[in-house]
Structure 1
C-alpha cells in the first residue's frame, strides 16, 4: 500500500532484492508486484537483474548491487564462543548447529511432520549442541514452537531454544557453527560468506541461487540425514576450496548510493519489451 501511494504521488521508489524466486512462500507475487510499482532497482545477483528486466523494467534502471545484508559482515565485530555463551546464559562448546525452520506457506510440506523429522535427525549427533531459534509468524509457526521448547526441555545442556538471537549474536553463532540447518533465507545469502555449510530443507527457498555450500534436501529424514552428514564432513568441497557467494562481496551500500545519485526520475515509465538480442 505504501509503495502504491508513493507511486501515485510521483515519489520514486527504490526496490532492493527484486527478481528473486522463493517457490515455497507467498513472497513471490508480492515481490514482483513491488517491482512494477518501483522505478529504480538494485538486485542481489546478475540473474535476478535479468529477471527484473524480463518483468518489463528498463535495463538502465536495474543494477546488480549484491545482497545488502552482506555489508554488515564487513563492519561487524563478532563475539567469541565464550562471549556468546555469556550473552546467551548458555554454555556453548563446539561443535554445534544453528537451526531455524519456518513453516512453508505454499505446497504440501506439513511443518510439524518435517520439524519432528529434523529433531529426530539431530538426535543422531549427541555430541553437537543445538541453538534452535523460533519460527516466524507464517502459517503453522505457532504449532512448531511447543515442539522446539519441549525438545530443549528434554536436553537442557545440549539444546537452547530462543525466540531471537539479534543480529550480532546470530551472525556470531553462525561464524562458529558446524552447520546452519533449516530453511531461512539467511542460510542462502549470509551463511556461505562464513565458509559454513547450510542444510536447506524443503521448498521454502526453492528457486534461489545458492553457493556450493548450500545443500538442498527433501523434507524427509533420510534426505536430511544425508545432507547433515555431508555438511559435517565438508564433503561438498575440495580441500582448501574457497566458496563463492553469488550474492556479492559486502559492498552493496556504496553501489546503492551511486545508483540513487544517478537517478533521472521521470514520473511515467514505459514497459521495456525484450528484443531478440536480449534473450540470446
Structure 2
C-alpha cells in the first residue's frame, strides 16, 4: 500500500477559508490523501479577528503559520507583504514537503504560495481560476497569473473554464467543479436565523441588512468616503445593519475608521463560517461588494445591492442591483430590495450559476488520482 499523497492547503483570510473548507474536509476523509494547513495573512492578525483560531475551532490542525502583513494601508505595504509571503511560504513548504499545494482565488497570500511552490517544483492546484472581476484590478491580475503558475485548474463555472483554456492551458488540466463555498449552504451546515439573532443581539423583528464592503485596491484613498456613503444610505432606512469589517487590502484601515466612528452600528471583526452563512439566511438584504453577495447569496434567495465596480464582470444570478458609490443610489436600491415584491420574487426564482453540488469532493478526488509525474509539471501552451 502506497503512502497517502500529502496535500498542503494555504489559507489567508476568513472568506477564502470558508470556500476551501469543504475541500479540506473531503481531503481529510480520504485514505489516499493527507492534509496539512498553512495559515497566513489576515488569519494571524488580531485586528481582523485572529481567525486562525476559527480554523482550529473547526477541528483542523494548522501545521505552519506564515506572518505576512506589513504595517500600513497602501499598495506599497501590500507589495512588501507579498515579498514576506514568498519567503515564508518557501520555508513552510520546504519543511512540509508536500506532493501538491491547493490554493484558491486571487489574493496576494495565495500568489506568494503559488510562486514559491512553482519554483520548488511542487504541483499547484488552483480553485476559482478564470473568474473575471473587471473592477478589481490587481485581483484579476493575481488570479490569471496564478493560472499560469498552476498545474491543475478547478474553475467553478464553464465560462471560467473557457477563459483558462484561452490563456493557453491544456484542457486535460481543467475540471469545472462548481463553487466549493456552496457545499455548506446546500448541506444546511450553518446557524439558524434564530440562533444568529440571539448570538449577535439582532432584533427579532424588522429587516436586517448585512453590510460587507471591501476597499478598492485601485482607489485606497477613497475607501473611507465610500464606506461612509454605504453606511449613510443604510442609516437612512428602517433597517438594522450588521457590518462586517473589510479585508486588509490597501484602504482597509480607512474603511474601518469610518465604521468605528459610528456608535449606532452592530459590528463584527469576523464571523465563523457557519455564523456568517446563518446571517445570510437571516438577512433581508445584503449591501457592499463582497464576492459572497455574488456566489452564495442567490442560494439564500437574498437580494444584493452590489456597490461600486469591484464585482463588475463576474457571472451572477438575477438577484443583484448594481449601483455606484453614491448614497442616494444605494439607499434607493436597498429600499427596492426590501419593498419591491416583483424584484424579491425574481430573486427567489433565479438560478445560481455557481451551484453544481459536491465541489469539495470533486477537488479531492482529482488530487487523489491525477498523475503527479513530470508530465504534470511540464506545462505546454496550446497556442
Deviations 1:73-105 (A, max 9, x none): 133443334322332245453411000111111
CA contact (8 A) 2:196 2:282 kept: no
Gaps of 5+ in 1: 274-280
Are 1:61 and 2:61 an aligned pair?
A: no
Q: Is the 8 A contact 1:109 1:219 kept in 2?
A: no
Q: How many residues align?
A: 267
What does residue 308 of structure 2 align with? 202
Q: Provide the residue aligned with 1:277 in structure 2.
A: none
Shift of the alpha carbon at 1:46? Answer: 0.5
Equivalences for 1:168-247 in 2 at 5 Å?
168-232=274-338, 233-236=340-343, 238=345, 242-247=349-354
How far apart, CA to CA, are the structure 2 residues paired with 1:77 and 1:165?
A: 15
Aligned to 2:143: 31
Q: TM-score, normalised by structure 1?
A: 0.87
Question: Which consecutive residues of structure 2, in runs of 5 or more, have no partner in the other structure?
Answer: 1-85, 87-112
Scaled by the length of structure 2, the TM-score of the pair is 0.65
Check 1:146–1:4 CA distance in 2 against 1; reply closer, same or farther (3 A cut). Answer: closer
Deviates more, 1:132-141 or 1:241-250: 241-250
Q: Indicate the SS of the match to 1:111.
A: helix
* Structure 1, 159-168 or 3-12: larger mean CA deviation: 3-12
Q: By how many angstroms is 1:268 displaced?
A: 0.8
Q: CA deviation at 1:67?
A: 0.8
State the distance in 2 between where 1:7 and 1:31 align: 15
C-alpha distance in 2 between matches for 1:102 and 1:4: 25
Identify the residue that residue 260 of structure 2 maps to in structure 1: 149
For 1:221 and 1:236, the matched residues in 2 are separated by 21
Matched, 1:121 2:228: no
3-state SS of 2:175 partner: strand
Contact preservation (8 Å) 1:92, 1:129:
no
Aligned to 1:258: 365
Q: How does 1:91-170 map to 2 (within 5 A)?
A: 91-107=203-219, 110-126=222-238, 128-151=239-262, 153=263, 155=264, 159-170=265-276
The Cα of 1:245 is off from its aligned counterpart by 0.6
Instruction: Indicate how the Cα distance of structure 1 residues 20 and 239 shifts in structure 2: closer, same or farther if over 3 A, else same.
Output: closer
What is the alpha-carbon root mean square deviation over aligned residues?
A: 2.1
In structure 2, relative to structure 1, the CA distance for the partners of 1:22 and 1:257 (3 Å cut) is same
For residues 348 and 300 of structure 2, what CA distance do their matches in structure 1 show?
13
Distance in 1 (alpha carbons) for counterparts of 2:380 and 2:314: 28
Query: Are 1:97 and 1:177, in contact at CA under 8 Å, matched by a contact in 2?
Result: yes
- Partner SS, residue 53 of structure 1: helix
